[in-house]
Amino acid sequence: MATKEPEVITDKHEMRKWSRAMRSQGKTIGFVPTMGYLHEGHITLVREAHNHSDLIVVSIYVNPGQFSPTEDLSTYPSDFRGDIEKLMAIPGGVDVVFHPHNLYDYGPNLSGDNGFESKGGKLKGAGVVSCVEDSGFGHETWVRVENLEKGMCGESRPVFFRGVATVVTKLFNIVEPDVAMFGKKDYQQWRVIQRLVRDLDFSIKVIGSEIVRHNDGLAMSSRNVHLSPEQRQQALSINRSLLRARIAAEKGHVNCQELRDLVTKAIQEAGGKVDYAEIVDQESLRAVEEITSPVVFCVAAWFGKVRLIDNMEICLRNGDL
């Protein structure tokens, strides 16, 4: 049975006013930041947020600050009405959907709800980076988590975590939640946000939720919609090879190069192109060469024009080492 339709707030000042009014009544606020085109992974985050707070805010905002000019901002899927209906179907529902048109200042010569437009017309997919680069105008304050953002996704997407950390900081300052939910599919992102909250003294509990998968094992992602049927089958090689690597590690094969080779070969043979396959410490995200403590095996791979990420935590018992 559908719950009532959530209140949609587009103005950041109204959003902050609502949150402060609720907090003054002693209510706690759970927050789920998203870029929309919701799937069961997002829904799981909302369900879990209900276990930690009285009220739920979901943001839907495609953040241009985390896309470089060559990335897929302009083609990122959206279905706002469909997202609202999915949120209404959750037991307990959602209290507010924060749907801002723009959270950045593009300066006197740039405008547009998502940073696409200028006086000269469209800046197709350019995002914030091109809008403010060396211009002397517009948004120039960025949040960096310097060590955790290095490597893995930070290597191939150098502006990504700068954009994520900055917009999440802005959203935290606007929504002022008590609890924030992040999916562990984006493992590096989750750790970056945890460190940001710790280092900047936000009074927010950041909770990581386990990866939600389709029945065949593929991690749920908004980008899956862009996979052809053939690519969809090829992409199953990521989770399947990660499972084989974890089983191998549990049997005593703890050499990380051998495990990386196992996964890389499986993905390539399936038709994918590996961006990275790294085994890193779960806390520091530093690469390791032999598994002696809890690690996470993180993978990013291309299938056609679609880049997918996935990971698997490996926590060996003492008797396994």
Nearest CA to 127 out of 73, 78, 76, 167 is that of 73
**Residue 207 C-beta-side C-alpha neighbours within 13 Å:** 21
The beta-carbon contacts of 77-80 under 8 Å, at least 24 apart in sequence, are: 77/36, 77/37, 77/222, 77/223, 77/225, 77/226, 78/36, 78/37, 79/36, 79/37, 80/36
Phi, psi of 111 (to 5 degrees): -150, -165
Helix or strand (DSSP H, E) at 200: none
Checking phi first, is residue 28 left (phi over 0); if not, alpha (psi -120 to 50) or beta? beta
Phi, psi of 246 (to 5 degrees): -65, -40
Q: What is the DSSP letter of 320?
A: G
Angle at 41 between CA 43 and CA 49, to 5 degrees: 50
Residue with tokens 């908004």: 222
**Residue 146 C-beta-side C-alpha neighbours within 13 Å:** 1
Active site residue 50: no
Coil vs helix vs strand at 212: coil
Q: CA of 95: how far to CAs of 27, 87, 124, 155, in Å?
A: 12, 10, 34, 38
190, 153 Cβ separation under 8 angstroms: no
120, 127 Cβ separation under 8 angstroms: no
Mapped to the 3 state alphabet, what secondary structure does 278-313 carry? EEEECCCCCECCECCCCEEEEEEEEECCEEEEEEEE
> Active site residue: 39, 42, 50, 139, which one?
42
Q: Mind telling me the catalytic residues?
A: 42
